[in-house]
Amino acid sequence: MSTESPSNGATELPREAPPAKPKFSWLQPHPVFVVILVGSEEKPFGIQKDFLCDRSDFYRKHFADKSVDNALEHVVRLPDTSTEVFGLAQNYLYTGVLIADESNVPSYESLVGLWNLGHKLGVDGLCEKTLDAMKECRRLTERIPATPLLIQVWRDTPEGSSIRLLLLSWAAEYMRSSDARAEFAKSLPQEVLSELVVAMSSFEASPAPHAPADLPSIAPPATLPKKNVHYLDEASDEEILNSIKKNRRSSGAPGAVSSLLDPAAAGRRAARTALPKPQKRRTSAAFVDARNFTTAQKLEFCADLLNRMLSGPGFWTRLVGPFKDPVEPVEDGVPDYLDKVKRPMDLSTIKAKMDRREYTNEDEFVRDVRQIFDNCFTYWKKGDPMWAAGEKLQRTFEEKFSHMNKWIAKMGGDEPE
């Protein structure tokens, strides 16, 4: 008889109590096998049915729901589980051991998959053993999981789960101890930061766990994104935490914050206010604003303003941070970005166009800069940190651009067109 089991994921186990466990003994015959087809290639693993039901709440209930027949072989499928992960689970089922050889420690990716599988199948002790293996992996590698994997855990595991609590404690410890904590905060989406601030508050209320002296760096590996569209300024720890707390208050409890990586969250972005119109600003040099200068002079001003935006001083660096380079949807954790933004634009692209002399007048330059703001307000919703960052950069840019004629006159441009 062929049966199907649900694919691996964050689905909770059935709420009803599992069937009573039959007394299992290897002294008894167990002739019925279950063939588990693992992964998209359906690699076969064979386990005695009685043994599998003894160790797994999920399969005990699964086979209790099936009509009794005389088949000596049953087939189930785990299409979303890798053979490496199921091999680790099988080894644990038969030996109770996950890491038998310290020279061959599973990767964090495999261990996260193993925790999910243990949680889904209800295998006694597997989740706890997996967390022990993750701690050993950290000790041996001197690293915590990379940011994309942290985000995946938040997306795929239940709120309050043991694996989340472990990674929260690691992230909170790292945020308190690392010189790169601001960059680390930038790489995490809002729902992770919302829970992290709670963990950090509890850290402040109790002594920090002792970190071994041989762990000078527990930063995520070099797979951290080169930039991120979630957080912006190289702010102080206090500024970061204040920002997190502010957004948490406006968003509700941590578990209620929508995932920025979940395509379903796109619905919440539907109701947006229109892109704010640039404000006309007055200047005391009104007589200068009334002049008309050459297109070349205006483009020279635009190039100078763009160079200042990209190269400093410091306040510009903080403002343009998330808008400097093209958005990489997967790398930056916004996989649906190009579905919503039809004309991507960034300051580095504008600089390249300026260097190639593609702008024939200042209006074309300004149109591209304002496209950045338009994209920001299209993808994000009011109240998101990125929306606020876009407004801040927009205000500063419009204010600086409004001084174009004054700047040209100051540089000695006395000749009108």
Cα–Cα distance for residue pair 195/366, rounded to 1 Å? 40
pLDDT at position 377 is 93
Contact present, 27 and 50 (Cβ < 8 Å)? no
Sign of the alpha-carbon torsion through 352, 355, 361, 362: positive
The tens-digit pLDDT sequence of the chain (417 residues) is 444 555 444 445 555 555 566 678 888 898 888 999 999 889 999 999 889 988 898 888 888 876 555 667 789 999 999 999 999 999 999 998 887 776 777 888 999 999 999 999 999 899 999 999 899 888 887 788 888 888 888 888 888 889 988 988 888 887 777 766 677 777 777 777 777 777 666 554 444 444 333 333 333 333 333 344 433 333 444 444 454 444 444 444 333 333 322 334 334 343 443 444 444 444 444 444 445 789 999 999 999 899 888 876 566 777 888 899 999 988 888 888 999 999 999 999 999 999 999 999 999 999 999 999 999 999 998 888 889 889 999 999 999 999 888 888 877 645 444
Cβ atoms of 231 and 185 closer than 8 Å:
yes
pTM of the model: 0.47
* Half-sphere exposure for 27 (CA within 13 Å, toward CB): 2
Query: Hey, what amino acid is at 2?
Result: S
pLDDT for the residue numbered 20 = 60
pLDDT of residue 269: 41
3-state SS string for the chain: CECCCCCCCCCCCCCCCCCCCCCCCCCCCCCCEEEEEECCCCEEEEEEHHHHHHHEHHHHHHHHCCCCCCCCEEEEEECCCCHHHHHHHHHHHHHCCCCCCHHHCCCHHHHHHHHHHHHHHCECCHHHHHHHHHHHHHHHHCCCCCHHHHHHHHHHCCCCCHHHHHHHHHHHHHHHHCCCHHHHHHCCCHHHHHHHHHHHHHHHHCCCCCCCCCCCCCCCCCCCCCCCCCCCCCCCHHHHHHHHHHHHHHHCCHHHCCCCCCHHHHHHHCCCCCCCCCCCCCCCCHHHHCCCCCHHHHHHHHHHHHHHHHHCCHHHHHHHHHHCCCCCCCCCCCCCHHHHCCCCCCHHHHHHHHHCCCCCCHHHHHHHHHHHHHHHHHHCCCCCHHHHHHHHHHHHHHHHHCCHHHHHHHCCCCCCC
pLDDT at 148: 84
Residue 44, number of CB atoms within 10 A of its CB = 9
| Beta carbons of 336 and 313 less than 8 angstroms apart | no
Query: What pLDDT sits at residue 73?
Result: 79
**Residue showing tokens 């205000």:** 395
Our CA dihedral for 77, 78, 84, 89, rounded to 10 degrees, sits at: -90
Burial class (CB in 10 A: 0-12, 13-18, 19+), 357: exposed
**In this predicted structure, what is the pLDDT of residue 1?**
42
Q: Say if CB 121 and CB 57 are below 8 A apart.
A: yes
Residue 168 Cα distances to 118, 160, 173, 291, angstroms: 20, 10, 8, 59
Q: Which pLDDT score is estimated for 260?
A: 28
Which pLDDT does position 385 carry in this prediction?
A: 86
